[in-house]
Amino acid sequence: MLSDFDRYLIGEGRHHGLYERLGAQLRTVNGVEGVNFAVWAPNARAVQVVGDFNGWDGRQHGARQLPNLGIWELFIPSAKSGQRYKFRILSEHGQWMDKCDPLAFASELPPLTANIISDINSYAWNDESWLQERAEFDPMHAPMNVYEVHLGSWQKGPGRTHGWLDYRDLARRLSDYCHRMNFTHVELMPISEHPFTGSWGYQSVGYFAPTSRHGNPEDFMFFVDHLHQNGIGVLIDWVPAHFPKDDHGLRRFDGSALYEHADPRQGEHPDWGTMIFNFGRNEVKNFLIANALFWLDKYHIDGLRVDAVASMLYLDYSREDGEWIPNRYGGRENLESIDFLREFNDAVHENYPGVVTAAEESTAWPGVSKPTSEGGLGFTYKWNMGWMNDTLRYMRNEPIHRQYHQNELTFSLIYAFTENFMLPLSHDEVVHGKGSLISQMPGDMWQKFANLRLLYTYMWTHPGKKLLFMGGELAQWNEWNEDDGPQWMLLDFDTHRGVQQLVSDLNKLVVDNAALHHYDFGPEGFEWIDCQNAQDSTLVYLRKGMPGTAPMLICSNFTPVVRENYPIGVPEAGFWKEVFNSDSEAYGGSNVGNYPGAHSRGIGHHGRPDSIAVTLPPLGTTILRLEQ
């Protein structure tokens, strides 16, 4: 399977098509059909291939080691697609271990662990037009409203273990729902094979295998294909930061610390009880970058959200003095990991134009979303964790106290354009005792719903791309766990249907109005009108698109007191049409607003040449657009 050029690239750690050479590859040799098995295990004394084709007796199929590469290889004519297999490895200490194939394309349903020989090259894709348009996609200026989903709990149904729906059924249901809700993309929590369902996929063993909980590789291809054909992009969470300690996985794969660091001060995460990849090893970097490109190549994925980037950047992440090893300059930066992230981003953007990468990075590391050519890490987007924390902390305050915390809302605009930010209200905000979003809102029942509608409207009008975790659009009361999905039954109530309709309408408003998406990452798209009225807890600002497009005026009232005849300075005279009101009775509000809009008065205010007088709804936002 390996040409001289393959061997050269593998030796350099730059074989981006590694998944077409290692693992279990269906092939024909001299007219004989079979499977070529290959695995990297440089410190093994022997490697056998065991499986259904030999009664799991490895003595029949011993692999040979290729010189200078540490790769063991064997062609087995009797092996066929659909059969199970593993590698049986003899460590340098004389112990036999059954290990999963690191590059396997499919695995058994956990808790079973064997890999499955799979043909992933025969699916007939029908998303050519989507891929052509994606190549021209402009992630800086296009709207992006992302619906974060855990496939195992989004919806349940009969017929599969634990009520898990298969990929094909999920594809039809999810694409229909996203259309109705006007989401542009879904983001899937990790779908690579993982032994422990409670890890939500963030502790993966099968990096090249979509989880068998919902079907086989072709079923997942159908999932992506179907969403593409219906105009929905597919992002996935990708976890190169760490992997679990399961005996059948990557840990001490050939009896030595191969994928991980040997020293626990570098090789183990104290928080998660997992192993850390050795990014200083060429073969490990090659494995991970090839894995990222694999999902884009074989499964047409549109973007990768990289989990736990902060833990990759700092050698002392979650460690006390003496529990970490400084870099060669004596610093705390993980230089090998930084090089890996830059190489990963360059490889993605060079090979797949229009594909996005997003970093879940919770520190002030500079240049996360700057190009590597400018010294950045090269991500397309960075999750704005500071905005999320400040905003939720502000919203948890009783309205009467919010006047003392106005800076928690306005602070984000000081740094809003230092990175290409995505605003996340993700699964992390509704787990581990935090409660659901609506349960975090203060006040009586009416105020809780009004506050949630106010929060969403503020988020959707703030600069940055948007991400909302499933169930948030329903205003569900329960915090999420992997066994219980969204509380769909709540849609029997007008108040919950109102929040769902509000999210749908906000998504459409962002997509249809360039002022709300074109300049998400630049100051030319935002202008404060009034951010200093802390006593009334109000915010007024403009969102602006390209020249010639109508600006949008956002007026928010974070108290339950109606503000009548509220003067607001505007940059242009004319009729400002009310295009959205979070207090509309259609959303469960009190219907206080300004329909159909307000005419300018020829009176300057807020340092602007003209002004309008509006009514600010209680715990609500009114959005007005200048009509030309």
| Residue numbers annotated as active site | 307, 360
User: Given its phi and psi angles, is residue 469 left (phi above 0), alpha (psi -120 to 50 degrees) or beta?
Assistant: beta
Residue with tokens 């060669």: 328
The identity of residue 309, as a single letter, is V
CA dist list (Å): 45 to 41, 58, 103, 312: 9, 14, 21, 32
Q: Quick check: helix, strand or coil at residue 39?
A: strand
Contacts of 587 (CB under 8 A, 6+ apart): 453, 498, 499, 501, 502
Residue 80 three-state SS: coil
Quote the crossing angle between the two packed helices 494-512 and 167-181, to the nearest 10°: 80
Task: Estimate the share of the chain in helix, then strand, then coil, as percent rounded to the nearest 5.
Answer: 30, 25, 45
Cα three-residue angle 501-150-134, rounded to 5 degrees: 75
Q: How many CB atoms lie within 10 A of CB 206?
A: 24
Give me the phi and psi of 553, to 5 degrees please: -105, 120
State the Cα–Cα distance between residues 366 and 418, nearest whole angstrom: 8
CA distances from 37 to 1, 55, 72, 86, 91 (A): 9, 17, 8, 10, 19
How buried is residue 373: exposed, middle or buried, by Cβ count under 10 Å (0-12/13-18/19+)? Answer: exposed
Q: How far is CA 396 from CA 382, 469, 511, 538, 560, in A?
A: 25, 19, 29, 16, 14
Rounded distance between C-alpha atoms, residue 278 and residue 193, angstroms: 21
CA angle 10, 11, 14 (to 5 degrees): 50
The CA-to-CA distance between both ends of the chain, in Å, stands at 65
Specify the DSSP class assigned to residue 333.
B
Residues 19 and 14: their CA atoms lie apart, in Å, by 12
Q: Give the relative orientation of helices 4-12 and 282-298 as an angle to the nearest 10 degrees.
A: 110
CA distance 442 to 451: 8
Helix (H, G, I), strand (E, B) or coil at 585: helix
Q: Which residues contact 437 (CB under 8 A, 6 or more apart)?
A: 425, 429, 430, 452, 455, 472, 475
